[in-house]
Amino acid sequence: GAVVSQHPSRVICKSGTSVKIECRSLDFQATTMFWYRQFPKKSLMLMATSNEGSKATYEQGVEKDKFLINHASLTLSTLTVTSAHPEDSSFYICSARVFGTVVAFFGQGTRLTVV
Amino acid sequence: DQQVKQNSPSLSVQEGRISILNCDYTNSMFDYFLWYKKYPAEGPTFLISISSIKDKNEDGRFTVFLNKSAKHLSLHIVPSQPGDSAVYFCAASDGGQNFVFGPGTRLSVLP
């Protein structure tokens, strides 16, 4: 399958700072990228969908000013958690899909801990 | 309202036996279904999928069955191996932007 690389895999930051997570499709062009958050022992919660070159579409209840998503190229999307708080600590996962296909491929996830 | 349901949060199976993971959906617009496997602290990996025009798709030890009238699909793993122990997510798509995951079933394959 296609390869999606997510970086960093683990990050610890201080409360009030911002953290950027990168998601790259390594061997294909991803017209659509998705960002998920997983709470402990819960399913994947879709946060937002981003299409290359346009603004991300956020799910209800997700603050777009807090979770900034940029999808400037067909191989890179970034999620920036701004002014992080301990309750933002979670496992964040991106996935990417090629236009016209259904299968989404996932990155390895980023464990964010805000102290 | 959960559009994709996996009613069994966990399942234990003996090594070598069959594992059957179930998934139900409510949205009749879904026409493509996928199964993903997830280990702790990793992203999900794609396992197998099925289009709504089929009722069965097989790939090695993994077979997915789809019953459109019942809005039900299942993943069969046979024979089950200890390395299959993971959380399995069922996902459904309407072919567009709508891509919904179920809550997952934790499979434990006992040696």
Q: What share of chain B is helix, strand, coil (3-state, %, to 5)?
A: 5, 55, 40
State the pLDDT confidence band at B1, using cuts at 50, 70 and 90. low
DSSP three-state, residue B83: helix
> Which residues share a beta bridge with A106?
A95
Residue of B1, B8, B42 for testing the chain A interface, max A β-carbons within 10 Å: B42
Express each pLDDT in A11-31 by its tens digit.
Answer: 999 999 999 999 999 988 888
Q: Which of B20-34, B75-89, B90-104 has the lowest mean pLDDT?
A: B90-104
Residues B38-65 have pLDDT tens digits of: 998 889 999 999 999 999 999 999 999 9
Quickly tell me which residue has 């956020």 as its tokens. A58
**Residue B44's closest chain A neighbor by CA?**
A106
